[in-house]
A and B are shown apart, each in its own frame.
Chain A
């Protein structure tokens, strides 16, 4: 891995990124990963504090003031920033609500760029074809008109009033429903969706994807759940549903060419159902983001 983002893309270099789920760690045991082309080591101390430094476990350089990078915990994950973040990690207020089950559903490696994963997460039209009989089924394929807006105050994209027919919208549902979705993009490589909860009509399940860019075309996608679910006794069953979904997305994402997201409007063909992805691409262009995207056609 040779692409060092600090030289090419100050935008992503100065953002917080997830590097590991806390559930996956044993306190006191160091592990290694990568972020934006740099090798990182990390450990959760016995007292529950994260420490992250540049390097590999093999080179034994260890944690020292020269190699240490910023880190903090959030939503069940260790977050790290290689540069100097201007903003703190975005808010997901639902995470703190009582009666919700919060968990990391899966962290999965994908051979594609971070923005391709975000865009797939924002897409409803693929449900009948990729998540057949779970999130959609033919012939119910229509994506009705929905609303998209960019909020310049908190720099977030919101897609609202999204409705889609779902045969089995979550692990807790057993019949077809018209499910309502809201999508939110608070970070170039993270997105949150809110959808009708089958167990509580007054509240929405929150599902977030935090994409960790290992390099420009390799990522780990971490799926965070904050759901209302009284039916599944074990978290395992809730996780399994989401793991199936991501397992179905993986071969599609890894066959998307080019792997980096093209921002040139003439690179691909949008339709009305892609309104939110059009907004997302425009936002990335305006942010002057470089990492994991193709800014101009060759």
Chain B
């Protein structure tokens, strides 16, 4: 690492990052893709998709995500996390798939970055507190050192009486070249080292506006003359070798094919920025990161929230792809609350600090459906709202059906009203009429249609039954239960063999597979502890599983390929697990 790597340089004018555009820049040999999201945030990333190295500057900026042109991988605004890999639509990408991003500031009408950031963009007192305007960037075929040297001798004088005649150059400690003029007329230049033999001069003027065409032409003419002189001299110098770009290695865990998503065990401290009631029994919490960017959750993901009373509860994110600067969750006050929703409603206040996990996704959204049908019951709207926003952002077709008791129980009404897809509210239906409405929804299944269901257990069961009766393929019906209401039978005892480590362990009545694994030092991520969320899923190589969870579909249970280690057990005497 050299001094130049620590230094801040401008790499673009703020105006270069036009809406829905990807700007192609270079600094010290490194290629950069810079793009502005619709929320105004300027992303400055290595110009290379992590997957197969294609330049992201030929990708598509859809306003909230950057889509690679080669395989359609999507990277989120701010975090640069990969949110979707189209080749595997049923999988949630590993959270750690993250493009290299550079620290960025926007100041003086320019976009600044540093290869290895430290501190902040040095302040230029001439430019602070005055209106300033970036000049047209002037690329030059010469080293930054030569450009800086000759720029100091530049003259902008037109005649003895003009405003530019009194200017003399000085260099400040940051390397900026200042022409301190009379009154408010000043020029400040920064030299961006593109490569060893190429530079861009980025000027900022004060005391001039974009209406002063004559003055701007004059400055441009002076810089063009200077460029010819600099390039003539550079042509006589020995050409330095180009600076070889450095391609950073991906994480070791990404170098092998990821089978399952990351466990998301890492914790993040968040502040409750807003707490509002969004329905008469449901509070909306907006959680913002404390001094760090939050990893981006994919549609359908949830976070663990560590509560002040020591409990840990899971809540689905409602965020769409455009909402990357906070986590938004909805919490319904449960009448029989064991302290989770009650604590969030009664104790947690705006400004409080909470610990949350990184988003985990056991309810991934395929984006390869011709039509997606979202069916929500009550607070089950939260993951489906995130999904609807995602599908809408990608301009695919969807229907959202929201079953609620009455108008007062409609959560996130504003956000739902903002959706432009087919949204239907089903209010106050009896059990019988709910069944009827569900059968209407699932009438006429079609190829490449997928449905996602989330809600209270009985309603979810009814929806799955209706879909099955209407002829939906089981693998097109995706669901997430809040909890497992089945009675868990833990009376069996059996043996588990661990195929990778060659160990054999005994599970006795009353113990769970997960407990036994953990007791023996094997770390397995888990979450709900009741067979609903799917986090503790482990592959089964041999043996007959006694499935007691509500995460797997019936055919997945028949296949016996996976076990939810927190509740499920063995029917056979022995299970061989792929761990």
Chain B residue nearest to A141 (CB atoms) is B86
B-binding segment of A34-42, A43-51, A218-226, A259-267: A259-267
Q: Say if the beta carbon of A55 comes within 8 Å of chain B.
A: no
Q: Tell me the bound Cα distance from A142 to B31 in angstroms.
A: 31
Q: CB-CB < 8 A to B258: which residues of A?
A: 271
Q: Say if the beta carbon of B396 comes within 8 Å of chain A.
A: yes
Chain A residue nearest to B246 (CB atoms) is A298
- What is the interface size of chain A, counting residues whose CB is below 8 A from a CB of the partner? 34
Given A138-B72, A141-B72, A272-B257, does the pair A256, B88 have CB atoms closer than 8 Å? no
User: Contact: B71 with A265, CB < 8 Å?
Assistant: no
B118 CB to nearest chain A CB (Å): 23
Q: Tell me the bound Cα distance from A141 to B250 in angstroms.
A: 25
Q: Which of A96-132 contact B (CB under 8 A)?
A: 119, 125-126, 128-130
A-binding segment of B7-15, B44-52, B333-341: B44-52
Given A256-B52, A273-B87, does the pair A267, B69 have CB atoms closer than 8 Å? no
Q: Say if the beta carbon of B53 comes within 8 Å of chain A.
A: yes
Q: Tell me the bound Cα distance from A278 to B256 in angstroms.
A: 9
Q: CB-CB < 8 A to A257: which residues of B?
A: 31, 47-48, 53-55, 245, 247
Given A125-B87, A139-B368, A143-B87, does the pair A269, B249 have CB atoms closer than 8 Å? no
User: Contact: B58 with A255, CB < 8 Å?
Assistant: yes
Q: Say if the beta carbon of A258 comes within 8 Å of chain B.
A: yes
User: Contact: A268 with B87, CB < 8 Å?
Assistant: no
Of the residues A126, A141, A258, A272, contact of B53 by C-beta under 8 Å? A258
Q: Say if the beta carbon of A2 comes within 8 Å of chain B.
A: no
Q: Say if the beta carbon of B448 comes within 8 Å of chain A.
A: yes
Given A141-B89, A272-B88, does the pair A255, B255 have CB atoms closer than 8 Å? no
Q: CB-CB < 8 A to B254: which residues of A?
A: 266, 269
Given A125-B71, A125-B86, A139-B370, does the pair A266, B50 have CB atoms closer than 8 Å? no
- What is the interface size of chain B, counting residues whose CB is below 8 A from a CB of the partner? 42
Tell which of B51, B55, B86, B249 has the most Cβ of chain A within 10 Å.
Answer: B86
Chain B residue nearest to A274 (CB atoms) is B257
Tell which of B31, B90, B256, B370 has the most Cβ of chain A within 10 Å.
Answer: B256
User: Contact: B70 with A258, CB < 8 Å?
Assistant: no
Chain B residue nearest to A253 (CB atoms) is B54
Of the residues A125, A130, A140, A298, contact of B69 by C-beta under 8 Å? A130
Where chain A touches its partner, the secondary structure class is loop
Q: CB-CB < 8 A to B88: which residues of A?
A: 142-143, 271-273
Q: CB-CB < 8 A to A265: which residues of B?
A: 255-256
Q: CB-CB < 8 A to A129: which residues of B?
A: 69-72, 86
Q: Say if the beta carbon of B244 comes within 8 Å of chain A.
A: yes
A165 CB to nearest chain B CB (Å): 9
Q: How does the 8 Å CB contact mask read for B84-114 relative to A, with 1 for contact and 0 for none? A: 0111111000000100000000000000000
User: Contact: A268 with B50, CB < 8 Å?
Assistant: yes
User: Contact: B257 with A271, CB < 8 Å?
Assistant: yes
Q: Which of B215-245 contact A (CB under 8 A)?
A: 244-245
Q: Tell me the bound Cα distance from A273 to B259 in angstroms.
A: 12
User: Contact: A128 with B72, CB < 8 Å?
Assistant: yes
A250 CB to nearest chain B CB (Å): 12
B27 CB to nearest chain A CB (Å): 15
User: Contact: B247 with A297, CB < 8 Å?
Assistant: yes
Chain A residue nearest to B48 (CB atoms) is A257
B94 CB to nearest chain A CB (Å): 9
Q: Tell me the bound Cα distance from A258 to B31 in angstroms.
A: 11
User: Contact: A268 with B368, CB < 8 Å?
Assistant: no
Tell which of A258, A265, A269, A270 has the most Cβ of chain B within 10 Å.
Answer: A269
Chain B residue nearest to A145 (CB atoms) is B88
User: Contact: B249 with A267, CB < 8 Å?
Assistant: yes
Tell which of B52, B54, B258 has the most Cβ of chain A within 10 Å.
Answer: B52
User: Contact: B87 with A141, CB < 8 Å?
Assistant: yes
Q: Say if the beta carbon of B367 comes within 8 Å of chain A.
A: yes
Q: Say if the beta carbon of A251 comes within 8 Å of chain B.
A: yes
B73 CB to nearest chain A CB (Å): 9
Would you list 18 pairs from A and B whose C-beta atoms are within 8 A, ordered by A residue? A128-B86, A139-B369, A140-B368, A143-B88, A252-B69, A255-B69, A257-B47, A257-B48, A257-B247, A266-B249, A268-B53, A269-B250, A269-B255, A270-B255, A271-B87, A272-B257, A298-B244, A298-B246
Other 18 A-B pairs with CB < 8 A, given A119-B52, A275-B257, A297-B249: A125-B86, A125-B87, A126-B70, A129-B70, A129-B71, A130-B70, A139-B86, A139-B89, A139-B369, A139-B448, A257-B47, A257-B53, A258-B247, A268-B51, A269-B51, A270-B256, A297-B247, A298-B247
